[in-house]
C-alpha cells in the first residue's frame, strides 16, 4: 500500500487494524486508508514518499506490462522443461 497524495493536498495513508489474539499476538484483520492533512504531525514526512493517483496507476500499469514479459519467459521455460522430461 502506498501513501496517495490527493489533488487537494490531503494524504491517504495506509492503516492496518489489528485484533488481539488469545496468545497476545496481533493479527491484521483489515487494511484501510486514513486521510491526513497538513496539520498532522506525520504529514511532512509522508508527503515526501507520496504518489498522486495518476502516478500510482502508471506504476501499476508498468507492473502489469512487466508481468507479461515474466509470464511469457516462464511459459517458455516451462515448455522447454516439459520437453526434456517427456
Question: What residue segments make up the domains of the chain, in order of their start?
Answer: 4-85
Pair 33, 4: CB distance under 8 Å: yes
Of 41, 44, 60, nearest in space to 9 by CA: 44
Task: Kindly report, residue by residue over 10-61, the tens digit of the pLDDT.
Answer: 999 988 766 665 665 666 666 788 999 999 999 999 999 999 999 999 988 8
Cell of 82: 516439459
Of 47, 61, 45, 41, nearest in space to 10 by CA: 47
| pTM greater than 0.85 | no
pLDDT at site 48: 93
3-state secondary structure of 3: coil
Of 30, 3, 6, nearest in space to 14 by CA: 3
Amino acid at each position: 500500500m502506498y501513501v496517495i497524495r490527493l489533488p487537494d493536498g490531503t494524504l491517504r495513508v495506509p492503516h492496518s487494524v489489528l485484533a488481539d489474539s488469545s496468545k497476545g499476538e496481533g493479527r491484521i484483520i483489515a487494511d484501510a486508508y486514513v486521510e491526513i492533512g497538513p496539520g498532522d504531525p506525520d504529514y511532512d514526512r509522508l508527503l515526501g514518499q507520496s504518489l498522486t493517483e495518476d502516478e500510482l496507476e502508471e506504476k501499476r500499469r508498468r507492473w502489469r506490462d512487466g508481468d507479461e514479459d515474466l509470464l511469457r519467459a516462464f511459459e517458455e521455460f516451462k515448455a522447454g522443461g516439459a520437453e526434456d522430461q517427456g
